[in-house]
């Protein structure tokens, strides 16, 4: 069984929870990998790599990814999303034209700060573990590519985007940086990965499909 299987990951599950669920339905020693993690608070497309397809892990992890995100305005979070400690922050009434102009500055290759609450490691320890322990960390940035950002909806309390970005881009940080440039604090209330390359939500199987393996694999 050598296959790339797009799966819909629900909110609250980790990427490895999905792998464990698949293995419980097949065999605990079955070879399964994934083509890029998805934060527990986010939902959407996760690629499971079955059998020999795990050899394509590096190639698949570099595919562009598309997300739909909703940011709440006027408050901030240490994790940049709703899972962190949320405090009131700066609020600015933003016009759509102002937001569009700010977004233009983030198109193409940009240097993006790596969030403290991320899986990136420092001396073998994930940054999020150091952050939870209150350890001081040096700021670090990396080169990412923003292919497109479009505004889906905005009102006085929130902004919804659709973004297509290179692998390794943090949408939490991207949204925060855009709104921060306009003098407004924010954090993500929701995040959905709608596509990885040509694999989209319509091509995904659900966790409950794992109990009928023949149905899941034939998709």
- Mean pLDDT of all residues belonging to the chain: 90
Q: How many residues does the chain have?
A: 219
pLDDT of residue 23: 87
Measure CA 174 to chain center.
11
- pLDDT band at residue 217 using 50, 70 and 90 as cut-offs: low
- Residues belonging to the active site: 39
- 136 has pLDDT over 80: no
Q: Assign 138 to helix, strand or coil.
A: coil
Instruction: Answer yes or no: do 82 and 174 share one domain.
Output: yes
Instruction: Answer yes or no: do 107 and 173 share one domain.
Output: yes
Instruction: Answer yes or no: do 52 and 89 share one domain.
Output: no
Instruction: Answer yes or no: do 179 and 212 share one domain.
Output: no
Pick the closest to residue 193 from 3, 5, 8, 4 (CA basis): 8
pLDDT of residue 119: 76
Instruction: Answer yes or no: do 56 and 147 share one domain.
Output: no
Instruction: Answer yes or no: do 19 and 72 share one domain.
Output: no
Q: Which two tokens stand for residue 160?
A: 């919804």
> How many domains, in total, are found in the chain?
2
Percent of the chain exceeding pLDDT 90 equals: 67
- pLDDT band at residue 214 using 50, 70 and 90 as cut-offs: low
Q: What mean pLDDT comes out for the span 31-56?
A: 90
pLDDT of residue 123: 75
Instruction: Answer yes or no: do 163 and 91 share one domain.
Output: yes
44/94 Cα distance (integer angstroms):
29
pLDDT of residue 81: 97
Instruction: Answer yes or no: do 80 and 126 share one domain.
Output: yes
Instruction: Answer yes or no: do 149 and 213 share one domain.
Output: no
8 A C-beta contact, residue 174 and residue 112: yes
More confident residue, 123 or 195: 195
Q: Domain range for residue 96?
A: 65-196
- Which helix (H) or strand (E) segment holds residue 146: the answer is strand 141-154
141/116 Cα distance (integer angstroms):
11
Please give the sequence-ordered ranges of beta strands (E in DSSP) within 24-129, or none if there are none. 32-34, 43-50, 65-73, 75-77, 86-88, 108-113, 121-122, 125-126
Q: Indicate which CATH number applies to the domain containing 208.
A: 3.30.2350.10
- pLDDT band at residue 126 using 50, 70 and 90 as cut-offs: confident
How confident is the model over 171-187, as pLDDT tens digits? 999 999 999 999 999 99
Instruction: Answer yes or no: do 107 and 53 share one domain.
Output: no
- 218 has pLDDT over 70: no
Instruction: Answer yes or no: do 77 and 181 share one domain.
Output: yes
Percent of the chain exceeding pLDDT 70 equals: 95
98/162 Cα distance (integer angstroms):
17
Instruction: Answer yes or no: do 172 and 71 share one domain.
Output: yes
């Amino acid at each position: 069984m050598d296959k790339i299987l797009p799966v819909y990951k629900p909110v609250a599950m980790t990427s490895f929870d999905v792998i464990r669920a698949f293995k419980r339905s097949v065999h605990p020693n079955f070879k399964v990998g994934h083509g890029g993690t998805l934060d527990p608070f986010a939902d959407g497309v996760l690629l499971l790599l079955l059998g020999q397809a795990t050899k394509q892990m590096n190639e698949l992890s570099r595919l562009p990814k598309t997300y739909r995100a909703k940011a709440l305005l006027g408050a901030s979070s240490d994790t940049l999303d709703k899972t962190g400690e949320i405090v009131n922050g700066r609020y600015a009434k933003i016009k759509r034209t102002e937001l569009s102009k700010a977004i233009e500055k983030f198109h193409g290759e940009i240097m993006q700060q790596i969030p403290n609450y991320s899986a990136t490691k420092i001396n073998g320890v994930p940054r999020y573990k150091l952050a939870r322990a209150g350890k001081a960390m040096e700021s670090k940035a990396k080169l990412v590519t923003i292919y497109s950002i479009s505004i889906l909806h905005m009102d006085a309390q929130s902004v919804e985007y659709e973004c297509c970005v290179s692998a390794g881009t943090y949408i939490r940080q991207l949204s925060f940086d855009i709104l921060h440039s306009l003098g407004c604090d924010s954090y993500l209330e929701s995040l959905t990965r709608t596509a990885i390359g040509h694999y989209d939500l319509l091509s995904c199987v659900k966790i409950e499909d794992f109990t009928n393996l023949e149905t899941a694999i034939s998709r």
